[in-house]
A and B are shown apart, each in its own frame.
Chain A
């Protein structure tokens, strides 16, 4: 649930460099990863150089945004005051069909219904004017 933008108090990414570009793409409704111009390999989190082929050239490449849940944790006791009202919540690792993995949340799904391999698709949460967090919904059909 998007709160009123001015009230958003949770940690935010530092909007600099490639991180800024990643979240700017999200704000446009596009989940994009770096794709190496040399060997076409996708990568996340952002890095300067392709570790596979050594190329410094890359472009943002739009992901299908579809993938599956591979692991998660259910936070019962908050470790950070800004998330105290969210417990229980379940940070999760999503493996996109493109092969890239990322940390996110599965929204609209109670923690006890999470299952490994559960198909999900991206959904953007515009938490501030600048930052849109990619989150995931169950694909039920």
Chain B
């Protein structure tokens, strides 16, 4: 058995309100990350000074700035993984190692941004080629052709799948519609009270064919954070710990170019999934719900395939008929996800998974949820899988 299996746990979660628009300055994410961190630390029943490890999200607030504001005089451990939206999952693995090795006792993983009111991702990637792995390749070999934004890059892969397997627009729509349904049960979702039918989906404006507006994540302003410690320390804390059963990271190859891979559908999850399931000692069938990093609708289908929930090429039909809706075989993105709750860097997927496993997800609670899966997805397909349990 892996030495980390079941040894680390999430003991505190916190988040800000998610919204589009803010009154304050938007050039630094520090305020929003601090708000979320305060909430997570308080939820754990800790004082901020008891945090001795911080794993910041790449490109956002630095550990020092967070520590100064939180009054952490003895910060013992910090590290950042440069894997974009796979960062929170990578940091969870890192935190689990740190607390189990005795390098830190309570590790804070924050993430928040003014993703709507500040610089947009499509501006950041063009202005700073080092903001993502592969950024230099994109600058020199994609941008001259007007292929400058994530929605365009990943629509390539969606169409490739359509060409190869006959995946239909309605399959992409099934993801968007399911997640929008879930958002109706989530007070913090940007798309609450804005239901979406398949007809609405198909009528939504085309952005980068085959991606319509409703295939795209909702750039938003907001932050979230969680606190990791050992199972042993968690016994002294106030909240029921949510255990890390399995975790793995992976990359497609080559990771820094989207179009030259021998296997064009490969993701980080392709190699990470077997490792994560083995570590947790479970199979996909044992998963009660999945919070899947969803920059765009098709990337949910692709990850389901690559993780083995269905065969490659069968993800389109798999997501039809309510399979991924609450009450279905595998509820996916029960909070609405990046598509219908808010794009909070995938941090919100961890917040939702912990809420579900605590039995505190309110109207959208998955009955009897014991095992939840959370993915991360960054840059040109770097991936993480975390399997959490109560």
B163 and A76 within 8 A (CB): no
Does A29 touch B at the CB level, under 8 Å? no
Give chain B residues whose Cβ lies under 8 Å from the Cβ of A100.
Answer: 260
Does B124 touch A at the CB level, under 8 Å? no
Which B residues from 117 to 152 make CB contacts under 8 A with A? Answer: 122, 126, 136-137, 139-149, 151-152
Does A77 touch B at the CB level, under 8 Å? yes
**Which residue of chain B has the shortest Cβ distance to A95 in the bound complex?**
B259
Which B residues from 357 to 377 make CB contacts under 8 A with A? Answer: none
Instruction: Tally the A-B contacts, defined by beta carbons under 8 Å.
Output: 107
CA of A78 to CA of B120 in the docked complex: distance in angstroms? 14
Encode A78-115 as 1/0 by CB contact (under 8 A) with B.
Answer: 11101100100101010000001111110000010000
**Which residue of chain B has the shortest Cβ distance to A12 in the bound complex?**
B144
Of B122, B145, B159, B160, the contact of A104 (CB 8 Å cutoff): B145
Give chain A residues whose Cβ lies under 8 Å from the Cβ of B206.
Answer: 74, 76-77
B148 and A13 within 8 A (CB): no
Give chain A residues whose Cβ lies under 8 Å from the Cβ of B327.
Answer: none
Does A73 touch B at the CB level, under 8 Å? yes
- Number of residues on chain A facing chain B (CB within 8 A): 38
Which A residues from 37 to 96 make CB contacts under 8 A with B? Answer: 43-45, 51, 70-80, 82-83, 86, 89, 91, 93
Of B126, B144, B205, B208, the contact of A75 (CB 8 Å cutoff): B208
Does B209 touch A at the CB level, under 8 Å? yes
Give chain A residues whose Cβ lies under 8 Å from the Cβ of B145.
Answer: 91, 103-105, 133
Does A28 touch B at the CB level, under 8 Å? no
Does A14 touch B at the CB level, under 8 Å? yes
CA of A75 to CA of B152 in the docked complex: distance in angstroms? 7
**Which residue of chain B has the shortest Cβ distance to A72 in the bound complex?**
B159
A86 and B146 within 8 A (CB): yes
A74 and B144 within 8 A (CB): no
Say how far B163's CB is from chain A's closest CB, in angstroms.
Answer: 4
Give chain A residues whose Cβ lies under 8 Å from the Cβ of B151.
Answer: 79
Say how far B295's CB is from chain A's closest CB, in angstroms.
Answer: 14
A interface residues with partner B (beta carbon < 8 Å): 10-14, 19, 43-45, 51, 70-80, 82-83, 86, 89, 91, 93, 100-105, 111, 116, 127, 131, 133
B interface residues with partner A (beta carbon < 8 Å): 122, 126, 136-137, 139-149, 151-152, 155-157, 159-160, 163, 205-211, 254, 257, 259-260
13 pairs, CB–CB < 8 Å, chain A vs chain B: A11-B143, A13-B144, A45-B140, A71-B156, A71-B159, A72-B159, A73-B208, A74-B206, A75-B207, A77-B205, A102-B141, A103-B142, A103-B259
